[in-house]
Amino acid sequence: AQSVAQPEDQVNVAEGNPLTVKCTYSVSGNPYLFWYVQYPNRGLQFLLKYITGDNLVKGSYGFEAEFNKSQTSFHLKKPSALVSDSALYFCAVRDFTGGGNKLTFGTGTQLKVEL
Amino acid sequence: EAGVVQSPRYKIIEKKQPVAFWCNPISGHNTLYWYRQNLGQGPELLIRYENEEAVDDSQLPKDRFSAERLKGVDSTLKIQPAELGDSAVYLCASSLNSLHGYTFGSGTRLTVV
């Protein structure tokens, strides 16, 4: 089965500094990778996805992610963090195992941006 | 365009009681998903519908959980009887088809006491 891992439960960063939220993947075949954000008491909001093409994917709210095949990573990045970016971030992979079609999520990383 | 609508937002019930959640997907979205998100974890798929057909229910605990999407539009997820371990957020999502991105609803937070 396909899987993703988010090694950090929490990331703290000062406002204005660059941020990175890490994700590594384990897939057979080509990976279809996603990032979602979840604000308190809200559903998940799509940020960006990688299907094929350029390794640097740009998404919503100034976020981007870099697909690295040799390191099997898909880290989420933003050049300058905002306090409003504080939320729970999930990496996910599209899983077609056994004829299915679902998103398999990581355990999430809580991002805290402080003044 | 209205997003994915779920109700209720919150539900508190005693164990062994039944409970139902409702989801109205985005108009025209043929694929509907129910996910469960336990505290501190990522969401996990319970069931996927293509129109009115449940095409993947392998993760649905069928002894107590049931779901339906009779007309291929809105859907209900039921638990009967509920157990303490069912406390979680139940998320509904829809997509144009199974290859497109998902749009999630705000979820229903269930607390079983």
Span A83-107, pLDDT tens digits: 999 999 999 999 887 777 789 999 9
Give the single-character DSSP code of B60.
Answer: S
The chain B residue lying nearest A5, using CA atoms, is: B42
Cβ-contact B1, B26 below 8 angstroms? yes
pLDDT classification of A14: cutoffs 50, 70, 90? very high
According to DSSP, residue A84 is labeled: G
B98: pLDDT strictly greater than 80: no
B81 phi and psi, to 5 degrees? -85, 155
- Which chain A residues contact residue B105 at CB under 8 A? 43
Confidence label for B70 from pLDDT (cuts 50, 70 and 90)? confident
How far, in Å, CA of B21 to CA of B90, rounded?
8
Nearest to B6 by CA among A43, A38, A44: A43
pLDDT in tens, B10-31: 999 999 999 999 999 999 999 9
* Cα A44 to Cα B109: distance, rounded to the nearest angstrom: 14
* pLDDT band per the 50, 70, 90 thresholds, residue B40: confident
Higher pLDDT residue, B78 or B58? B78
pLDDT of B89 higher than 70 = yes
Smallest Cα–Cα separation from B91: which of A105, A58, A111?
A: A105
Distance separating alpha carbons of residues B90 and A10, to the nearest angstrom: 23
Q: Round to whole Å and give the CA distance between A94 and A31.
A: 7
8 Å CB contact of A43 and B58? no
Among B48, B56, B91, whose Cβ lies nearest the Cβ of A43? B91
Beta bridge partners of B95: B31
* DSSP code at position A91: E
Q: What pLDDT was estimated at residue A105?
A: 94
pLDDT in tens, B42-65: 999 999 999 999 999 989 999 999
CA atoms within 13 A on the CB side of B104: 24
DSSP B35-68: EEE-TTS--EEEEEEETTEEEE-TTS-TTTEEEE
User: Using CB atoms, which residue from A43, A92, A100 is nearest to B105?
Assistant: A43
- Nearest by CB to residue A105, choosing from B4, B42, B107, is B42
Tokens encoding A77: 């990045």
Q: How close is the nearest chain A Cα to the Cα of B99, in Å?
A: 8
- CB atoms B43 and A43 under 8 Å: no
pLDDT (tens digit per residue) in A25-76? 999 888 999 999 999 878 899 999 998 889 999 999 999 999 999 999 999 9
In this prediction, residue B2 carries a pLDDT of 77
Predicted pLDDT of residue A52: 84
User: CB count, 10 Å around CB of B2?
Assistant: 8
Comparing C-alpha atoms, which of A101, A43, A31 is closest to residue A73? A31
Structure tokens at B72: 């291929």
CB distance from B107 to chain A under 8 Å?
yes
What per-residue confidence (pLDDT) applies to B1? 62
